[in-house]
Structures are given as structure tokens and as C-alpha cells.
Amino acid sequence: MKNIKKKKYANALEPLYDELVALQRWIIAGGKRVVVVFEGRDAAGKGGVINTILAPLNLRYARAVALTKPSERESTQWYFQRYIEHLPSAGELVLFDRSWYNRAGVEHVMGFCTQAQYRAFLTACPIFEKMLADDGILLLKYWLAVDQAEQEERFQERATDPLKRWKISPIDIKAREQYTAYGDARDAMIAATNKPWAPWFVADFNDQKRGRLDLIAHLLGQLPERAPPDKPLRLAKLKRPPATEKLADDKLWIPERY
């Protein structure tokens, strides 16, 4: 299947944005708490789809969480502890760019945790997520799938593009030879943690634009409630002619270069 064209992508995205805004109004009005977890291989497109979802939303009530590796202090805490403080309050949507599932993925595959810690996570995770669901948090989890050839192409682009080079880390480079191991870890993770209260869904992200559209449409289908559309506002005319921006000190203006 050919990659979707930019114009077709933009046209398809516009009505989804309308739906996302309506969804956010429902979340805010109902005091809902929604968490969406995005997992997947390196360079799958997690950051891109999160940014796309957030683009039309009020960022006072929607945010992304992308934690760095745990500090020395955090590494001594209960494993789930540092994620809890980022969970939503009433009216909020939180999108995790990687999450507590690091333990079932990169930590397990790259040997950053013990086998005992890995097994304990697979046992504890469904219990942890059941606690979230029982408290009223709506939790959805997406795995972004990408074939190794496409992943390698994206790695090469990141390695040569100075605007994208920051996206490739030493861990990414080491993990390139672990494609099969990550697939095995994914399957074990999903088998242990795919529960009715916290379901997993897999999205094909070999074409990132098409993947974004499919994932957003699916997400909207999982949260079908919508706030009724706002009625257009009728703004009264200004009582005076429009004013221009004037400063007491004109030297504060930056130079106009464009």
C-alpha cells in the first residue's frame, strides 16, 4: 500500500480534529480522567501521533508525559511510583510517550532489570491497572508496529539529518539488533496485560500519516461520548475603532527580518 499523500492526510485529519475537540469538551464537562499509553519500537512514531492528538486541544487539560530514565532516588522506589504523580485529575487527558511498560520492553530486552523484576512486573501490572480502572480512570494502550526495514530507514534518516539526530540515542543503536527479541517481549507483555479494563490495540505505523489517522479514529471510537457542538459566538462590535499596539519604549521591538 502506497503512503498516503499530504493533501489527503490533511483533509482526513480536519474532521478528526473536530471530534477530538468535542471529546475533550466531554472529558472536561464530565470530570473524566483519561490515560492513553503509547508503546512501540524505536522510531515507530509515538511522538508524532501524540503531537497530532494534542495539536487542536486545550493544553491546560491535555498533556504528554515522556519520562527520562529513573534517577538514583527513583530507582529505589516502588516501580510504579514515579508514574502515579503524572496521572490525570478530573477533566484531564494524559498521553504517555512510553510508560511503566518500559520494564516489559527495553529494560527486559536490554538487561536493565533482573528476571525477577520482569516477572514481578507482569504479575503486578494488571493489578495496578485494575486499581486505576476501579477508581474511574479510563485507560487505553496502543502498540505502534513498524517493520524492521522501515525502522532502519528512519534510523538512517535520523543519523544523517541534523534536525532529527537528537532522536537517536545510544540505546537505540544497541537495540537495532534486537528486533526479534522486542517482538517476543511485546507478545509476552500483551498476553499478560491485555485485560478488559486496560485493553491493548496494535496500529500499523509503517506509514506514519495513515497510522495517525487510523489510531485517532480508533481512539475516538473507544471513547464514543461527545459534548454537543458549541453554538457560534456572536461578538458585539467594538465601541471604538481598532487600536494598534503601541509601546512606551519603541526600542523593545525586535527587528523585522521576514
User: What mean pLDDT is predicted for residues 217-221?
Assistant: 98
What is the per-residue pLDDT across 185-210, written as a single tens digit (0 to 9) for each?
A: 999 999 999 999 999 999 999 999 99
Retrieve residue 56's grid coordinates: 487542536
pLDDT-based confidence at residue 152 (cuts at 50, 70, 90): very high
What is the per-residue pLDDT across 61-75, written as a single tens digit (0 to 9) for each?
A: 999 999 999 999 999
Give the range of the structural domain holding residue 124, as residue numbers without chain letter: 33-204
Q: What is the domain count for the chain?
A: 1
pTM: 0.92
Helices (H) and strands (E) in the chain — how many of each?
9, 5
In a domain, 55, yes or no: yes
Residue 253 has pLDDT above 90, yes or no: yes
Closest among 255, 204, 219, 194 to 93, alpha carbons compared: 219
How high is the pLDDT of residue 175?
82
How high is the pLDDT of residue 170?
85
How high is the pLDDT of residue 229?
72
In a domain, 177, yes or no: yes
In a domain, 223, yes or no: no
In a domain, 212, yes or no: no
CB 98 within 8 A of CB 164: no
pLDDT-based confidence at residue 230 (cuts at 50, 70, 90): confident
Residue 227 has pLDDT above 80, yes or no: no
What is the per-residue pLDDT across 232-244, written as a single tens digit (0 to 9) for each?
A: 889 999 999 999 9
In a domain, 136, yes or no: yes
In a domain, 103, yes or no: yes
Give the CATH number of the domain where residue 98 resides: 3.40.50.300
Q: How far is CA 160 from the centre of its chain?
A: 25
Angle separating helix axes 179-193 and 115-134, nearest 10 degrees: 40
CB 3 within 8 A of CB 209: yes
What is the per-residue pLDDT across 20-71, written as a single tens digit (0 to 9) for each?
A: 999 999 999 999 999 999 999 999 999 999 999 999 999 999 999 999 999 9
In a domain, 133, yes or no: yes
In a domain, 151, yes or no: yes
